[in-house]
């Protein structure tokens, strides 16, 4: 079936609720969607110049993934030296040399329904969840997590222990999106639909959520999520962890009490030639 027919089938079976569990047509539609996800033919979110953020959420794709969980039953499987027990509709993906994906030995896993492009490097142990899209020549380093439906662009470096949050519900919510040529430093956390524009650099330890204000020291602005639009990190921004003093109550720095500060990520500059030189190390590893 074509994608329009597939979307209609997924929507129909998703709306059927528990009744879909015994319907072979529901399983057929889900398996076709899963195969399309793995080939990169459909995505939970995709670029759309007409959308306010430049990205469009495909809610029906998320519905199809949730349908797969509804249809699945627990099943044990063996993949090389690792053993898994999971819904049988989401077994671990197995790669061959022809796929052009480098999966280094040591405990990594990619769930079925995830797209991993040629030239991607997976350093152990890392995990890519179903519905995620990881584009060409991206590096997913040790202990990094790419959550469900997260969208990762080309030539992105997800450093050790970086956590890219996922979202399946609500189905119309935007997943975390990391555009091309972004460097995500070690122990960073990007959650709740945050959009990181191309070329940005997140220094080690940076945490970004929907409720996190981002202080742009270069332009004198405070960037926040608004309405249905998540926090957006501007193109080529260099973001570092920071702190700001609590201005009232016992946390006030001039009080005799606690003198507290709160976490406050800040844009300290925009990417230039010096920043680019500091991000070329990953090329030596390929």
CATH number where 10 lies: 1.10.166.10
pLDDT greater than 60 at residue 45? yes
Among the residue ranges 41-55, 243-257, 271-285, the one predicted with the least confidence is 271-285
Residue 43 to residues 113, 115, 171: CA-CA distances in angstroms?
Answer: 10, 9, 13
Query: Residue 274's pLDDT is what?
Result: 74
Same structural domain, 147 and 267: yes
Q: How many domains does the chain have?
A: 2
22, 152: one domain:
no
Q: pLDDT band for position 84 (50/70/90)?
A: confident
Local confidence band at 277 (pLDDT 50, 70, 90 cut-offs): low
Q: Are residues 18 and 106 in the same domain?
A: no
Whose CA is closest to 146, among 103, 177, 169?
177
pLDDT tens column, 59-71: 999 999 999 999 9
Residues 268 and 236 in one domain: yes
Residues 234 and 95 in one domain: yes
Tell me the pLDDT tens digit for each residue of 86-140: 999 999 999 999 999 999 998 899 999 999 999 999 999 999 999 999 999 999 9
Residue at 77 is within a domain: no
Q: What is the mean pLDDT of the chain?
A: 91
pLDDT at 35: 98
Whether residue 94 sits in one domain with residue 68: no
| For the chain, percent of residues with pLDDT exceeding 90 | 77
Q: What is the pTM of this model?
A: 0.92
Query: Of 72, 105, 123, which marks where a domain is finished?
Result: 72
Domain end residue (candidates: 72, 106, 121): 72
For residues 184-191, give the mean pLDDT. Answer: 97
Rounded distance between C-alpha atoms, residue 25 and residue 18, angstroms: 14
CATH number at residue 184: 2.160.10.10
- If DSSP codes are grouped into helix, strand and coil, which group holds residue 180? coil
pLDDT band at 250 (very low <50, low <70, confident <90, very high): low
Give the relative orientation of helices 3-15 and 24-39 as an angle to the nearest 10 degrees.
Answer: 130
| Residues sharing a CB contact under 8 Å with residue 30, sequence separation 6 or more, in sequence order | 10, 13, 64, 67, 68, 71, 89
Tell me, yes or no, whether 50 and 133 share the same domain. no
Within a domain: 132: yes
19 with 133, same domain: the answer is no
Q: What local confidence, expressed as pLDDT, does residue 282 receive?
A: 53
Q: Which domain holds residue 45?
A: 1-72
Range with lowest mean pLDDT among 113-117, 187-191, 232-236, 254-258? 254-258
Residue 28 lies in a domain: yes
pLDDT value of residue 80? 62
Q: Are residues 42 and 113 in the same domain?
A: no
* 130 lies in the same domain as 257: yes
Q: Per-residue confidence at 278, pLDDT binned at 50, 70, 90?
A: low
Say whether both 100 and 63 belong to one domain: no
């Amino acid at each position: 079936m074509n994608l329009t027919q597939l979307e209609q089938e997924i929507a129909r079976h998703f709306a059927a609720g528990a009744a879909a569990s015994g319907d072979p047509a529901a399983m057929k539609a889900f398996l076709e969607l899963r195969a399309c996800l793995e080939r990169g033919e459909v995505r939970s979110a995709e670029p759309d110049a007409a959308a306010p953020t430049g990205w469009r959420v495909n809610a029906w794709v998320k519905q199809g993934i949730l349908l797969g969980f509804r249809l699945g039953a627990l099943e044990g499987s063996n993949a090389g030296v690792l053993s898994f027990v999971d819904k049988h509709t989401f077994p671990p993906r197995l790669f061959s040399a022809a796929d052009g994906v480098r999966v280094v030995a040591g405990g990594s896993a990619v769930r079925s329904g995830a797209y991993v492009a040629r030239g991607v490097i997976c350093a152990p142990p890392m995990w890519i969840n179903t519905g995620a899209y990881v584009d060409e020549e991206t590096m997913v380093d040790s202990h990094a997590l790419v959550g469900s439906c997260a969208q990762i662009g080309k030539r992105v470096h997800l450093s050790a222990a970086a956590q890219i949050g996922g979202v399946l519900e609500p189905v119309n919510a935007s997943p975390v999106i990391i555009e091309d040529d972004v460097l995500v430093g070690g122990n960073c956390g990007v959650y709740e639909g945050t959009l990181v524009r191309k070329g940005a650099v997140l220094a080690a330890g940076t945490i970004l959520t929907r409720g996190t204000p981002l202080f742009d020291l270069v332009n004198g602005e405070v960037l926040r999520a608004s309405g249905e639009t998540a926090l957006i990190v501007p193109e080529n921004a260099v973001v570092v962890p920071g702190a700001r003093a609590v201005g009232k109550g016992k946390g006030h720095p001039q009080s005799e009490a606690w003198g507290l500060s709160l976490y406050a990520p800040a844009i300290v500059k925009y990417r230039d030639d010096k920043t680019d030189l500091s991000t070329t190390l990953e090329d030596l590893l390929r």
